[in-house]
Amino acid sequence: MCGRFVITSAPAALRQLFGYVEQPNFPPRYNVAPTQPIPVVLVENGARHFRLMRWGLLPGWVKDPKGFTLLINARSETVLEKPAFKRAIRRRRGLIPADGYYEWKAVDGRKQPFFIHRADGAPLGFAAVFETWAGPNGEELDTVAIVTAAASKDLAALHDRVPVTISPRDFERWLDIRGDEVDAILPLMAAPRIGEFAWHPVSTRVNRVANDDEQLLLPISAEEMEAELEASKPKRGARKAAAASSDDGQGSLF
């Protein structure tokens, strides 16, 4: 799956790569998370455009978003059949500019985050489907999900799912929604080739959405990983102190 990603390339470089007409200026993001606004490239009136959409797709038929599951990913194997995605995959396909993403793997009984990126360091475009949800009071919300596929053998060492990435040579084919046929884009919904991506372990600071800085991308050593594990363990004395002060009448949530 894909639950966090990174956008670090300069806005001008992304505009040149994706070919949208707008000239947005935005800061680098090192820890993009679901429900946040994210950039989406789409075709409208024959031209490519840059739009901000909420990461977490809401189908148009949803009545109450509060009771609906947050759909941040769409499985390529079932995207043509699932009610939430089957219209969007035919008529509302987009690309999400990115420079990599995070995945978590169980290591010695804990979840270790890894940063995954193209081996050549180039930006990438996640395959996406989007919907505009209209509320009962006339409000509208553009929402989007990232298409995923079964991981290739190398990336499967981290997780069994990966985001589908579209090569620049296939941008036009993926974004072409002039017809209602999907045969042309079916081969694009696949995992990257073996060796196309590289990865390294990073600090567990990425676990906290509020942390959004370039230090999150730095590789960490086995010694640093062990130090983070030790620091995360609750201290016996701290537990006793917390127990002694738990009935302070403040109704603390922590």
Answer yes or no: are the C-beta atoms of 98 and 125 closer than 8 Å: yes
Query: Considering only CA atoms, which of 33, 51, 50 is closest in space to residue 101?
Result: 33
- Give every CB contact of residue 1 below 8 A, 6+ residues apart in sequence: 72, 73, 148, 159, 161
For 23, counting Cβ atoms within 10 Å of its Cβ (0-12 exposed, 13-18 middle, 19+ buried), the class is exposed
Quick check: is 230 catalytic? no
State residue 253's pLDDT score: 20
Give the pLDDT score at 210: 97
pLDDT in tens, 206-215: 999 999 999 9
pLDDT at residue 169 in the model: 97
| DSSP letter, residue 192 | P
The pLDDT value given to residue 90: 95
Q: How far apart are CA 138 and CA 135, in angstroms?
A: 5
Is the Cβ–Cβ distance between 3 and 98 less than 8 Å?
no
| Tokens 């072409």 found at | 176
* Active-site pick, 103, 181, 214, 228: 103
Amino acid at 83: P
Of the candidates 2, 81, 223, 230, the residue annotated as catalytic is 2
Query: What values do phi and psi take at 102, rounded to 5?
Result: -110, 150
pTM for the whole structure: 0.89
Residue spans of the chain under pLDDT 50: 240-254
103 is catalytic: yes
**Residue 240 pLDDT:** 46
Percent of the chain at pLDDT above 70? 92
How many Cα atoms within 13 Å fall on the side-chain side of residue 146?
Answer: 28
